[in-house]
Amino acid sequence: MSLYGFDIVVRPRLLSFLLTAALAFAALVPAATQAVAATQVCVLACDTLDPSQARQETFPVPDKTLNGRRVQLHVSDADDMAWASIDNGSTGDAVWLDRSWDGGATWDGLLGKASIPSTWTGTRTLMYNITDPRNHKRGLVRACGDAAGVGCTNWVYPTVCDTLCDGTGAGQAAGDDQPVPSTTLYGRTIRLHVDQKNATAWGSIDTGGAGDEIWLDRSWDGGATWPDGSSLGRTSTPSGATTTRTTMYATRDPRGLLYGGAVRACGREASHNEGSCTAWYRPVPNRARAAADALMTSYDPYNGWWPSSWWNSAATLTSVIDFAKTTGTHDYDWIIARTFDQNKGVFPAGTRSSDAIEGDFISRSIDDSGWWAIAWIDAYDYTHDARYLNEAVTIADYVQQYWDTGTCGGGVWWDREKTYKNAVTNGQYLWLTTALHQRIPGDTVWLQRAKTSAAWYKASGMINSSGLVNDGLSSSCANNGSTVWSYNQGLAIGAFTELWRTTGDSSFLTTAKTLANAAISSSQLTVGGVLTESCDVGSASCDDNQKQFKGIFMRNFADLATVTGSSTYRAYIQKQADTLWAQDRSNLNALGERWAGTSPNQTDWRTQASALGALTAAAG
């Protein structure tokens, strides 16, 4: 089977034998040690993982024969890691990995260097990551040996491949879009061309002469650096011609877990040394995927979250899973397990949150815990892995401890200190109790809790006379008149929609529609047809929490639109997607807080995740 231009060796029985043998071998051979201090990389696993734990074994480059010894590079694409071995050798022969972050110009050498011990004829290194998406670095690795002389295999994966691979001729492009202005230099016109469908690009130089040059730069961090992507496809205009172009280059490297590559076209007139470049640009295969690709450039696989906001990371994970479920895009599936595994434990205050995380995603902030429960239910629906549902139950059991009929007749407290009963925590609770009933066969307990919660919520007074949800209750258990936030409105819409879906009680659907109609008609949430927070208006700015509210609204509003089939609701969803795409997007597909594009605007991964919620809703 061929993939990325090399043959994959798919030999399950042989692989099983090799890995079993490696375990026995590891017990006899001294562990490989890292001879040169290199910064440890952690993606799906950390550098120095034992090869016995590899999920795959392929040999994508030819072996290197070195004075009769065989030096091999072993690669597990499933782990995005590699290791090296030397065989047919003698005591003292050595093997190691080199890893380069600049296309092979320089490298960290002697990684995992191991020497053949007495009485043995071979050894191998530990495993090292090939890529480093947290630091936006695309790596190359090779296996090297020392046996009365030093020799190395070829570097692995010098070519980036997505739908198309680096070096594909521009004549095979599915389209020719020129999304950024051209640049000129000594009368020459330098253009960036993009095949949006395949997320590839090429450059051209026109109105010139022989010797003029054109090339692409490719960056994995939005144009801040491009150590492995300088002067790609550098081409000279031939004699007698006035124009030339590069071949095409990919902007996504799914194998390397790098998705948001940016490109620019650069050129040089033959008789001058200086060059000129267009603006950087990220392609748009479709709106939602472009937003998700840009969002993934902020994910930290070392720690398994989007630094540094705890509950926002849970909501963002939910946005990514919703995107995957809606579009069938599986590129980012790996972050679900990585986020779970890296964050299930205990963290002192100040590490993940200002609060201590006490294990199982639980803290004194009840609503923070609730966002993680929602995320793991979404993960369970997508993966069918029972550990995610079990985790959601564990968190929901914790939240249940703070349902208290002694104050305001019911409702869940916002915090462990029992200082506030508010809309977000109780909207979460209603949604969670309903969702758990739907997923636990034979359940009656969570259903009864959901019905009790729904009755309390409607009678609590948090829904005002205009059908809008204020932030919470006062100390006298009355609506406190505090800000109407979109996420409170959305959680209530989603929770009552789910409870109607479960029970068939039309009163729940009526409540959901009343809340939705109020949201789209009230100037407190919708201005000029665009979903707007109070902190989107005038010179105000939203804090890190508020930046993500609208995406949560859109997720739940879309659920209601689906069950009702309402053309009004669908039109509202499309209006949000169209407006933010036209008014609130940069050349790098960064999406801001103000979907209408007004100033001052804010842009970061939280606003990106929120906008992704709207684009996913429209895609659905």
Listing DSSP states for 266-283 in one string gives EEE-TT-S-EEE---B--
Residue with tokens 């307990």: 445
3-state secondary structure of 151: strand
Measured distance between the N- and C-terminal CA atoms of the chain, rounded to whole angstroms = 34
The burial of 594, by beta-carbon neighbours within 10 Å (0-12 exposed, 13-18 middle, 19 or more buried), is given as: buried
Q: Which residues pair with 114 in a beta bridge?
A: 95
State the CB neighbour count (10 A cutoff) for residue 565: 8
**217 is written with which tokens?**
């730069």
pLDDT of residue 37: 54
Q: Rounded to two decimals, what is the model's pTM?
A: 0.93
pLDDT of residue 20: 36
Cis peptide before 600 (omega within 30 of 0): yes
| Residues contacting residue 595 through CB under 8 Å, at least 6 positions apart | 530, 531, 532, 550, 576, 579, 580, 583, 584, 611, 614
Mean pLDDT by 10 residues, the chain (620 residues): 31 36 34 55 98 98 97 98 97 98 96 97 98 97 97 98 98 98 98 98 98 98 96 98 98 97 98 96 98 98 97 98 97 98 98 97 98 98 98 98 98 98 98 98 98 98 98 98 98 98 98 98 98 96 97 98 98 98 98 96 98 97
Q: Is the dihedral of CA 307, 309, 314, 319 positive or negative?
A: negative
pLDDT of residue 336: 98
**259 is written with which tokens?**
């998705």
Cis peptide before 541 (omega within 30 of 0): no
Torsion angle (degrees, nearest 10) of CA 405, 411, 413, 419? -70
pLDDT of residue 24: 34
State the CB neighbour count (10 A cutoff) for residue 445: 12
Q: How far apart are CA 285 and CA 528, in angstroms?
A: 29
Q: Are the C-beta atoms of 130 and 157 separated by less than 8 Å? A: yes
3-state secondary structure of 223: coil
Backbone angles phi, psi at 441, to 5 degrees: -55, 135
